[in-house]
Structure 1
Amino acid sequence: MSSEPNGNGRRPGMTDVARLAGVSHQTVSRVLNDHASVRPATRERVLAAIEELGYRRNMSARALVTRRSGMLGIVASGSSRSGPAGTLGALEQAARAAGYFVTVAIAPEPEPDLHGEIADAFVEQGVEGVVVIAPTPGVAEVAHALSAQVPVLVVSAWDPPDGVPTISVDQRAGARLAAEHLLALGHTDLVQVSGPTDWFDAAARVDGWHTALADAGVAPREDLVGDWSSERGYALGRSLLDNLPTAVFAANDLTALGVLRAFAEAGVRVPEDVSVIGFDDLEGSANFYPPLTTIKQDLRALGAAALGALVEVIAGGTALPRRLPPALVERSSTAAPR
């Protein structure tokens, strides 16, 4: 047999071996690394599948054992939204500054076969470890496919049940800062334009917002569900015109931008009539009209912290879950209600 590309145009990988042998990725990895814990019958079945498929490990995969490849993998969702895209850029810069080469894989949807192929590709390239940027549950599932083979760190507001190390900006604390800022100004008629409900960050911001207001004894209006876009922010801003609150918490700065446009077109003054606060401190938010009060998440610091935590895991250490603190950036889009 020879390891020629299969019908899908790629060479046989560990996914194919595992499927043919009827075992898990982890078992194939153990056989390849000659672990004593594999039962002889299972080992023979895996070796037979390897022979039948003509699977051959790339020699660089041996660097995974010595951990000297100088290569790290990053799994991203492919989202162009500022949070995931900014995190990817910050991680790549931090890795390069530390002397690592980065290879990136895009996993937009929860597709088990794709996840297995990503795991195969990373192992065959000899990556020392992988960072999974997981804004949604589908991408988070990739961490499980990888964790049996390489050290993995997840950048996400996700709270995994199985102890996978995670790091993120504290989204709940950021939403709490937004709520407490508006409360301190005297606002009690408030509404949140949230992010999409299937995003971990959006869910954490909803939780932080409502917890802070409940602690203060304030009942906000029902959340308006957005999708992170300025277009949706504009539409939801227009929906508020007939019954204006005194303050709006937009769950990201692009949503706030749409809300500001809706209010400006209707002659609603910000902050005289309505205060608006965003989240992210997106580049350019200081030049919105009016300049946007927002919650800053430092993605450069997040990238550096994630790289440090992954290197610790690669070295055999334990990276405890960590949440970096956000910060309030006060500008002129918020003020006391009239």
Structure 2
Amino acid sequence: MGRAGTTRAGVRDVAARAGVSTQTVSRVINDSPKVRPDTRARVEAAMAELGYRVNNAARALGTSTTRTVGVIASDATLSGPSAGIAALDAAAQDVDRWIATAYADAADPVAVTAAASRLLAQGVDALIVVAPHTATLPALRGTIGETPLGALHSGAGGEVQRRAAGLAVSHLLELGHRRIARLAGPTDWLEAIERDAGAAAVLEAAGAEAAPVWHGDWSAAAGAAVADEVAAAVRAPSGPTAVAVANDQMALGLIAGLQRAGIAVPGDVSVTGFDDNADAAFYTPALTTVRVDTAGEARRVVAEVLGLGDATPASAPVLVARASTAAR
């Protein structure tokens, strides 16, 4: 039975019920190998009987860790960062950790370092940045001391981003497109840089013809904002016959804007996205895109910053072909 009333059971209550010291309870909480199996079972039974919930303060008793990973994120209204935060939360739980999230304008190093300071004040064991800008990681490395630092989709994850972007372009090339324009992400986002580099590398290797490159801020509004320029380019002699877009939300806005401008997708121009967000199959037309294993990448970076060894490798990126692309 749990304790009556609203008072929560504490470590002392568990120790008294199990007939052990509070230090022994702390060792059980922190998975210490110094506890005998029968004692561990008795303490765990007492926890269950009292309805005791492990909290970070209790875990920190007798150890220098809080088992919490700090996550610095920018705009959770965008599908990519939102999915990244959810994946990091799941990856942390898989290794019996938690995340604490602080939001900051990733383009502002002062705001990012302030967010890091708030998380460090909570005693987080490591920091992970979601969708960092080029200035983010250098600014943090200069202010967080020895705290381990990682970034989702950066480092080893950046190579995955490049390969995935290359898949979309390869698909368009296989369909016969030779003039493939790009709608890239912001020039100071690491993920945008990696994705555009991957797309450009495949185009160069294939000897594709030169085509325009636009940039947006990842939002559907940004895709819509350049739609008239894209439409004019498509109508021009030797204009692009396809556009590789750096994320699904910009592709959504671009397709809507092109249709308003009288450009048919994929009849006049094929469009690809990146992310395979939950709505991509329901766009009009359904969006051809690439899917990356964000959950696997989250497992990798969590294991990396916590020093837990190699995580289960992420799955390879996958092209998801739908109705927004067609043979030229």
TM over 0.5: yes
TM-score w.r.t. length of structure 2: 0.71
CA, structure 1 residues 85+145, in 2 after alignment: closer, same or farther (shift >3 Å)?
A: farther
Shift of 1:105: 2.2
Whether 2:240 is the aligned partner of 1:242: answer: no
**Greater RCO (Cα-Cα under 8 Å, separation 6 or more):** 1
Question: 2:26 matched to which residue of 1?
Answer: none
Shift of 1:112: 4.6
Whether 2:262 is the aligned partner of 1:267: answer: yes
Shift of 1:181: 0.6
CA, structure 1 residues 197+124, in 2 after alignment: closer, same or farther (shift >3 Å)?
A: closer
Shift of 1:292: 0.4
Question: Aligned match of 1:282 in 266, 277, 302?
Answer: 277
Question: Aligned match of 2:72 in 67, 75, 80?
Answer: 75
**5+ residue gaps, structure 2:** 1-55, 235-239
* CA deviation map 1:199-257 (0-9, x unaligned): 11111122111111111111231201222122221232222323412111111111111
* Secondary structure of 1:283's aligned partner: coil
Question: Aligned match of 1:325 in 306, 309, 316?
Answer: 316
* Secondary structure of 2:129's aligned partner: strand
* Secondary structure of 2:147's aligned partner: coil
Tell me if structure 2 keeps the 8 A contact 1:153–1:306.
yes
* Secondary structure of 1:137's aligned partner: coil
Whether 2:121 is the aligned partner of 1:130: answer: no
Tell me if structure 2 keeps the 8 A contact 1:169–1:324.
no
**5+ residue gaps, structure 1:** 1-58, 160-165
CA RMSD of aligned residues (A): 3.0
* Farther off after superposition, 132-141 or 189-198: 132-141
Aligned AA for 2:193? A
Distance 2:121 2:165 in 1: 41
Aligned AA for 1:92? D
Distance 2:168 2:62 in 1: 46
CA, structure 1 residues 272+126, in 2 after alignment: closer, same or farther (shift >3 Å)?
A: same
Shift of 1:71: 1.9
Question: Aligned match of 2:149 in 126, 147, 152?
Answer: 152
Question: Aligned match of 1:294 in 279, 282, 289?
Answer: 289
Q: What percent identity do the matched residue pairs reach?
A: 33
* CA deviation map 1:185-206 (0-9, x unaligned): 1001221111111111111122
Summarize the alignment of residues 44-123 of structure 1 with structure 2, pairs less than 5 Å apart: 63=60, 66-108=63-105, 109-112=107-110, 115=113, 118-119=116-117, 121-123=118-120
CA, structure 1 residues 101+207, in 2 after alignment: closer, same or farther (shift >3 Å)?
A: closer
TM-score w.r.t. length of structure 1: 0.69
Question: 1:4 matched to which residue of 2?
Answer: none
Tell me if structure 2 keeps the 8 A contact 1:136–1:198.
yes
Distance 2:269 2:115 in 1: 50
Distance 1:307 1:235 in 2: 37
Shift of 1:275: 0.9
Give the ranges of 4+ consecutive aligned residues of structure 1 lying more than 6 Å apart after TM superposition.
Answer: none
Question: Aligned match of 2:183 in 193, 200, 209?
Answer: 193
Equivalences, count: 266
